[in-house]
Structure 1
Amino acid sequence: MEALNVPMADTPVVTFWEGEIVDTKNYTFFTGKWEATQEDDTRHWSKFSSFSPLMAQVESDGGKSLDLSNYPYIFMRWKEQYFVNVGTDCGLTIAGFYYICFSCSDGSISGFYYDPNSSPYQKLELKSTNDGRSGFSFSSYELQ
């Protein structure tokens, strides 16, 4: 990711990210790290209307018994790992992470930032375009 117009940096700040796809096998809706409690997780996932139908099962067993393979949304966590081109004195923090929801129908991505030491529920929204092609396109992103 590239952050522009950072007050304490002379150039755009580039960060390296990693993500987790909530598949209920390798990763559940409960984060279990980065200072996030199950209550924090439930509060943040609940901000997505697409999460509502899953809420009871997640509260029951963390969602481990859910089959999300055909669900029209993909839930993820995105975490910045390090600054690529600047030191930690750039004025930005990478302490938190994002709760992410990807819509398989329109390609939109929305997210909420979590860091217990930052303003709550900072929102991320990415809208796709298809530029006359099939599928979805953003300026750049890749899901692996």
Structure 2
Amino acid sequence: MPVRMVETSSPSEVSGSTTGNTMPQPCTLLSVGQAFSGTQNVSSLQKDEAWRVNVRIQGYDHDRGYLCGTMEALNVPMADTPVVTFWEGEIVDTKNYTFYTGKWGATREDDIKHWTKFPSFPPLLPKVEPDGGKSLDLSNYPYIFMRWKEQHFVNVGTDCGLTIAGFYYVCFSCSDGSINGFYYDPNSSPFQKLELKSISVGRLGFSFSTYELQ
């Protein structure tokens, strides 16, 4: 939810086979109720700024490659309260979704430019370029790639000074639950980085405010 303004790892195996299970395996750190906390960098030529961000997963359907949740930005300069948005996500599983977005104004060149910013992606690139990675076997890959698209504001109006026109390219680490992402919107500062860590709500004493989603 930016202001509108003008991990190196190799896969255990990257296979071209389409037999068997080629989708990413379910990950316990990517499940309903799981919470994440971190920052989003919204730096531009005019300023250097990072917002504190909390994310909670509200829904997850592995077979459909779908998940959804809420994102809360806590220290947005022009907002009197934390700004909460509801987002829906696509899991790049080569069955339901590939690495090519095909919407939201993103070209294949935009896709490759953003995915390659994740150190875990380059080993996949040769098989992604022809068709978005339809032949990739991601079942044992230690990272899950996703797109998150904010759908609406939960607790503020559209006149809050923020935009949700774009979407996030996301890379999730199955080993520690960390999330890295880059926001894409041609009308916002490029490559705004999202960095989140998985948190234990009970152990760390962290909790989100309660919001009713409709």
TM bin (shorter chain): 0.7 to 0.9
Counterpart in the other structure of 1:107: 177
Q: Equivalents in 2 of 1:48, 1:75: separation in Å?
A: 10
CA distance in 2, matches of 1:15, 1:65: 34
Cα distance in 2 between the residues matched to 1:60 and 1:35: 20
Displacement after TM superposition at 1:31 (Å): 0.3
| One-letter amino acid matched to 1:58 | V
AA of the residue aligned to 2:110: D
| Aligned equivalent of 2:93, options 10, 13, 23 | 23
Give the gaps of 5 or more residues in structure 2. 1-70, 209-214
**Superposed, which structure 2 residues align to 1:4-19 within 5 Å?**
4-19=74-89
Shift of 1:2: 1.4
* Match in the other structure for 2:122: 52
Distance 2:153 2:135 in 1: 37
Query: What amino acid is the match of 2:97?
Result: Y
Residue equivalent to 1:79: 149
**TM-score in terms of structure 1 length:** 0.87
Cα distance per residue 1:94-121 (max 9 Å; x no partner)? 0011000011112111001100111111
Asked whether the 8 Å contact 1:7–1:91 carries over to 2, the reply is: no
Q: 1:5 to 1:128 in 2, by over 3 A?
A: closer
| Structure 2 match to 1:34 | 104
User: Match for residue 91 of structure 1?
Assistant: 161
Classify the secondary structure of the residue corresponding to 1:67. coil
Distance in 2 (CA, whole Å) between partners of 1:130 and 1:7 is 28
Match in the other structure for 2:73: 3
The structure that has the greater radius of gyration is: 2
* Identical columns (%): 85
Q: Distance in 2 between matches of 1:84 and 1:129?
A: 23
Using the size of structure 2 for normalisation, the TM-score is 0.59
For 1:124, what is the secondary structure of its paired residue? strand
The Cα shift of 1:28 comes to 0.3
Q: Structure 1 residues 81 and 92, CA, compared in 2 at 3 Å: closer, same or farther?
A: same
Unaligned runs of 5+ in 1: none
Bigger strand fraction = 2
Aligned residues between the structures: 135
Q: Which has the higher contact order (CA 8 A, sep 6+)?
A: 2
Note the C-alpha offset of 1:127: 2.0
Deviation at 1:139, TM superposition (A): 6.3
